[in-house]
Amino acid sequence: MHVLRGRWRQQLTESGHAYRELLWYQNSDANDIPTRQPLVQEIDWMFASVARSGQLEILREADRQRGQRDPRRCGLARQVAEAWRQADAVLQRRAQDAAREASGPDCASASEIPGR
């Protein structure tokens, strides 16, 4: 639901709302799983990598429109690169693009952690 609403907000060019819509995954605690049917927060945890990728895409597009870089991009790029680094070959490009961005000159000294 959050992913769909984030995409919808992005299509409406509401990048701030779209970005915030994809923050839901940060509110989860997961211990000793799976021992039962999945809980909502476990499903959220599973989609966290998708949300981070979406947030990174939203920030990239907003930056292109504004002509300046959002400081959250470097931290998100690092997280996306790590989350997708062992993905199937079809999804490897996400990790490669994010790793390139995270190691680029704009992120060389950045140590910010993405957030709200």
Q: Is residue 115 part of a domain?
A: no
Instruction: Quote helix, strand, coil % in the chain, to nearest 5.
Output: 65, 0, 35
Q: How confident is the model at residue 47 (pLDDT cuts 50, 70, 90)?
A: confident
Q: What is the mean pLDDT of residues 90-114?
A: 78
Q: Is residue 73 part of a domain?
A: yes
Structural domain containing residue 81: 2-107
Which of 7-16, 25-34, 90-99, 100-109 is least confident?
25-34
Q: Is residue 19 part of a domain?
A: yes
pLDDT score of 116 more than 50: no
Q: Is residue 112 part of a domain?
A: no
Q: How confident is the model at residue 31 (pLDDT cuts 50, 70, 90)?
A: low
Please give the pLDDT value at position 30: 58
pLDDT in tens, 67-92: 988 989 999 999 999 988 888 877 78
Q: Is residue 113 part of a domain?
A: no
Q: What is the mean pLDDT of residues 40-54?
A: 84
Alpha-carbon distances of 77 from 29, 50, 82, 106, rounded to whole Å: 23, 13, 9, 12
How many domains does the structure of the chain reveal? 1
Relative orientation angle of helices 72-84 and 92-102, to the nearest 10 degrees: 140
Q: How far apart are CA 49 and CA 70, in angstroms?
A: 20
Please give the pLDDT value at position 63: 92
Q: Is residue 114 part of a domain?
A: no
Decide: pTM greater than 0.75: no
Q: Is residue 9 part of a domain?
A: yes
Q: Is residue 23 part of a domain?
A: yes
